Amino acid sequence: MRVAGLPPLSKLGEFGLIRYLGGRFGRTSASVLCGIGDDAAIVQPLSHRELLVTTDLLVEGIHFQSGTASFADIGYKAAVANLSDIAAMGGSPDYILVSLAIPPQRTTQNIDQLYHGLMEACRREKVDLIGGDTSASHQALFIGVTLIGSAKPGHALRRTGARAGDLLYVSGTLGDSLAGLSLIENQRGRGDAKLPREHRRYLVGRHLRPTPRLRLGRILSSTKVATSAIDISDGLGGDLSRLCEASAVGAEIDQGAIPCSAACRAYAALSHIDPIQLALRGGEDYELLFTVAPRHARKVKQLARQAKCPVTCVGVVKPKAHGIQIRQRTGILKPLNVQSYEHFQNTKRPAKHR
């Protein structure tokens, strides 16, 4: 939805922009006692809940490119990055705060669209926009998002609970987002022209509008079926290694079991790349990686059906000394070579965040 006739930022001014955004997007459910427009927001926390708090800073040219995504898409994904963190804790998202540093070339319309995308991602979960900050920026657009959620006391899923013998599961399919990004960045690239249009649409959609797995996360935490969880924002390899580090365990994953979509496999075949590499190294799938005691193997499938989110067992947790290994299609075990995006080394991996 576009809003006609928005005044330019220079006319609206910082406080005019805050008033406009607050009026248009500032939601106020009953628990928000004071939203946008004071020195701080005031909220009435839900009784008998633990608070979950996560924050992400997204940088133009690093996490997103304004040339390859609309402002609504950029906003949508900024929200999902945080919603997915709450999903990985098994919680419910409640309140969002959004800060922007806006370079001179951006218009009120751009900012309006960005917030529109952000709040679209939040709508299903009825997240209230309760605050933020706006500032000028000399060059790039910066988006700071803070999301506050809640969980039943003692039920939040942590990265630290995996035990040797637990089964390793992932939700959905992996690698789609990186395939979608490659399609967007490389319009006439390798094999792209031959890719059926519906595959292309699916992969680009998975990159631009990923789904935070909130329902699955909540079912896994409320039933206490998962022993640990992390969201896959950095490729299965990187996030598995972080889960293992936090839980002081090793892992063995089965290459043949890693779920890739038909679209991702078709894209990979046409591009002469291994779809498993997209799954292991691709960022921004925003699926969940979680561990489950073997006795719950049947139950987890049933819960996944309830959450309307497919899950796949991709391996097993091992003692720490085992390291992290991947069983190749030949049956041979090899150490998993973890390559994930490194912010401070100028590597050329695609944009994603944490």
343 contacts its own copies (rule: CB under 8 A): yes
**Which stretch, 50-58, 164-172, 256-264, 278-286, contacts its own copies (CB under 8 A)?**
50-58
Using DSSP bridges, classify how beta strands 311-319 and 142-151 pair: parallel, antiparallel or unpaired: unpaired
How far, CA to CA in Å, does 87 sit from each of 50, 147, 225?
Answer: 14, 12, 15
Residue selected from 6, 28, 29, 50 as contacting its own copies according to rule CB under 8 A? 50
The binder of its own copies chosen from 72, 97, 181, 292 (CB under 8 A): 97
Shortest distance in whole angstroms from residue 142 CB to its own copies: 5
Stretch touching its own copies by CB under 8 A, among 92-100, 114-122, 165-173, 190-198:
92-100
Cα distance from N-terminal residue to C-terminal residue, the chain: 29
Q: Does 89 bind its own copies (CB under 8 A)?
A: yes
Residue 333's identity, in one-letter code, is L
- Does the protein bind its own copies through residue 222 (CB under 8 A)? no
Rounded least distance, CB 326 to its own copies, Å = 21
Residues in 233-292 that interact with its own copies by CB under 8 A: 242, 246
As a whole number of angstroms, the distance between CA 298 and CA 193 comes to 42
Beta-sheet pairing, 333-335 with 324-327: antiparallel
85 phi and psi, to 5 degrees? -65, -40
Site for its own copies in 111-140 (CB under 8 A): 130-140
**How far is Cα 220 from Cα 225, in angstroms, rounded to an integer?**
5
Cβ contact 117:73 at 8 Å: yes
Residues whose CB falls within 8 Å of the CB of residue 216, separated by 6 or more in sequence, listed in order: 87, 171, 288, 303, 304, 307, 309, 311
* Radius of gyration over every alpha carbon of the chain, rounded to an integer in angstroms: 21
The residue among 97 and 276 lying less far from its own copies, judged by its C-beta, is: 97
Number of residues lying near its own copies (CB under 8 A)? 81
Please state, as a whole number, how many other Cβ atoms lie within 10 Å of the Cβ of residue 177. Answer: 30
Which of 42, 193, 262, 332 lies at the binding interface for its own copies (CB under 8 A)? 42
- Taking alpha carbons only, the member of 233, 245, 218 closest to residue 157 is 218
Indicate the pairing of strand 92-102 with strand 142-151. Answer: antiparallel
Q: Provide the minimum distance between the beta carbon of 45 and its own copies in the complex, in angstroms, as a whole number.
A: 5
Compute the least distance from the CB of residue 97 to its own copies, in Å.
Answer: 5
Q: Is 223 a binder of its own copies (CB under 8 A)?
A: no
User: Does position 12 bind its own copies by CB under 8 A?
Assistant: yes
d(CA 62, CA 140): 10
The least distance separating its own copies from the CB of residue 137, rounded to whole angstroms, comes to 6
Instruction: Check if the beta carbon of residue 82 is closer than 8 Å to that of residue 56.
Output: yes
Span interacting with its own copies, options 58-66, 67-75, 195-203, 208-216, rule CB under 8 A: 58-66
Choices 179-187, 227-235, 248-256, 320-328; region in contact with its own copies by CB under 8 A: 227-235
Of 65-73, 87-95, 203-211, 321-329, the segment contacting its own copies by CB under 8 A is 87-95
Span 181-210, contacts to its own copies by CB under 8 A: none
Told to check if 354 binds its own copies by CB under 8 A, we report yes
Using alpha carbons, select from 111, 107, 94, 116 the residue that is nearest to residue 44: 94
Q: Does 146 bind its own copies (CB under 8 A)?
A: yes
151 lies in the binding site for its own copies (CB under 8 A): yes
- What is the DSSP secondary structure assignment for residue 168, as one 8-state letter? E
Applying CB under 8 A, among 14, 222, 297, 319 the residue interacting with its own copies is 14
In the bound state with its own copies, the residue whose beta carbon lies nearer, of 47 and 187, is: 47
